[in-house]
Amino acid sequence: FPSLWSRLNAPYLCTKDGIVLHCPSVKEHSSLWENPFSATTSWQPCAERRDNELSDLPPENETTGYIFIYAEGGLNQQRIAICNAVAVAKIMNATLILPLLKQDKIWKDQTKFENIFDVDHFIGYLKNDVRIVRDVPPWFPDKSIRQMVKNIPKYASAQFYIDNVLPRIKEKKIMALKPFVDRLGYDNVPSEINRLRCRVNYHALKFLPEIEEMANQLAARMRNRTGSSNRYMALHLRFEKGMVGLSFCDFVGTREEKAMMAAYRQKQWPRRYMNGSHLWHLALQKRKEGRCPLQPGEVAVILRAMGYPKDTQIYVASGQVYGGQNRMAPLRNMFPNLVTKEELATKEELDHFRKHVTSLAALDFLVCLKSDVFVMTHGGNFAKLIIGARRYMGHRLKSIKPDKGLMSKSFGDPYMGWASFVEDVVVTHQTRTGLPEETFPNYDLWENPLSPCMCKA
């Protein structure tokens, strides 16, 4: 399966001079920076709390009990868990104890809820929906909650909680739900519960004011890098060593690099590691199905084919890119105005946020959210939460989700010229820009909140 790097020196697509790519220019279209107004006016957000809304909470002494969850993983996985916890508490008429953000083995960050989110706003905004307390009740003898419900299946229905979890909470009065990653479904829960999850995600969960303020400064600096107000793109580049390894996709590199990656995969994922021949065929299949992360150079060629000019201001949200500057060079050479938060802010400004890795992730999240165009390169909670939020904000902001499967075919076609490639890219992505999209069974609420969190205008 021909890789991009083995054939980009061909004259029919781009020319390659060492590690520098040269691609023909594409005319900049008027719709390059925002979705058409006519396509975005039929829906509006409707999950917010109404000022005159009456509480349907029963008296405090009628609560069925207390539930507590450990929000595991990185910041965005934790965010989803918190939204689900509020929904589950509502389903069972239980009181929610403020979730604990559990230290993740990858992030290695012990951040408390109050270190990242505005607790007062969270509790106050949801006061008519769910009763939330900061700590275990004073009458509880042991601060560590040992009674746990461990058998909750992934994407469980609301009825599962009523039939299997609620009786245990009524009996024990206080229970921890663990694990709690993706433990609530979408189309098997009432629409008002899904709307509540959107209310939590888009309205109740606010980052601390100092995080919001720093993110606003970074976004403003992106817009004024050239001395005048300009638009900017945010690129979520998922090409860290861990992501490359976990993907089990094949990427061009030296024999030494391939051997080191094979050893890394064998050590980290021994059960998934098989003989080389099988892995090679699996990698080919994954690439055809669009399940491999886009390489920085592939991203560059796609963006150029879409019509984004060389002087585009691009904010990059990424960990350490696998392959370092050599791997980044094709993207940086084609779009030299790449910048990260470390380059936009001073060391002193960021030092305050380095105490908690999730605070730095929150800055990336907000700067991406505020961008004119957001581009994802691989799946994950970060990208789908950004795309979902931008849709909820009105669909005008473009959120580009590359069709990696189709792009892999185009990259691998030895007879495709630049004009045909541009046509493929433009036509394929006309409807992959965060436009309103009807939901379907087992839809992902976080990426597409159209129904029931948005209403016909």
182-219, pLDDT tens digit by residue? 999 998 999 999 999 999 999 999 999 999 999 999 99
How large a percentage of the chain has pLDDT more than 90?
55
Are 280 and 341 members of one domain? Answer: no
Q: Which two tokens stand for residue 258?
A: 């391939």
Are 119 and 154 members of one domain? Answer: yes
State the pTM of this model. Answer: 0.90
Q: Residue 408 CA to chain centroid, in angstroms?
A: 23
Name the E strands within 123-236: 132-133, 148-149, 174-177, 232-236
Residue at 455 is within a domain: no
Q: State the pLDDT at residue 11.
A: 38
Q: Is 307 helix (H, G, I), strand (E, B) or coil?
A: coil
Span 139-173, pLDDT tens digits: 887 666 778 888 899 999 999 999 999 999 999 99
Are 319 and 417 members of one domain? Answer: yes
Span 70-105, pLDDT tens digits: 998 899 999 999 999 999 999 999 999 999 988 655
Are 329 and 411 members of one domain? Answer: yes
Q: pLDDT class for 5, splitting at 50, 70, 90?
A: very low
CB 72 within 8 A of CB 78: yes
Q: State the pLDDT at residue 297.
A: 92
Q: Is 207 helix (H, G, I), strand (E, B) or coil?
A: strand
Q: What is the CATH number of the domain that holds 343?
A: 3.40.50
Instruction: Tell me the pLDDT of the chain averaged across its residues.
Output: 87
Residue at 412 is within a domain: yes
Are 169 and 86 members of one domain? Answer: yes
Residue at 359 is within a domain: yes
Q: Last residue of some domain: 253, 274, 289? A: 289
Are 413 and 332 members of one domain? Answer: yes
Q: State the pLDDT at residue 20.
A: 65
Say whether pLDDT at 31 is over 60: yes
Residue at 37 is within a domain: no
Spatial CA neighbour of 386 closest among 202, 144, 164: 202
Q: State the pLDDT at residue 12.
A: 46
Residue at 193 is within a domain: yes
Q: State the pLDDT at residue 106.
A: 55
Residue at 448 is within a domain: no
Q: What is the CATH number of the domain that holds 199?
A: 3.40.50.11340
Residue at 385 is within a domain: no
Q: pLDDT class for 451, splitting at 50, 70, 90?
A: confident
Residue at 410 is within a domain: yes
- Total number of domains in the chain: 3
- Which residues form the domain of 16? 4-32+211-239+293-378+396-433
Span 277-313, pLDDT tens digits: 567 777 888 888 899 999 999 999 999 999 999 999 9
Tell me which amino acid residue 300 is: A
The dihedral of CA 32, 35, 37, 38: what is its sign? positive
Dist. CA 454–CA 393, nearest whole Å = 10
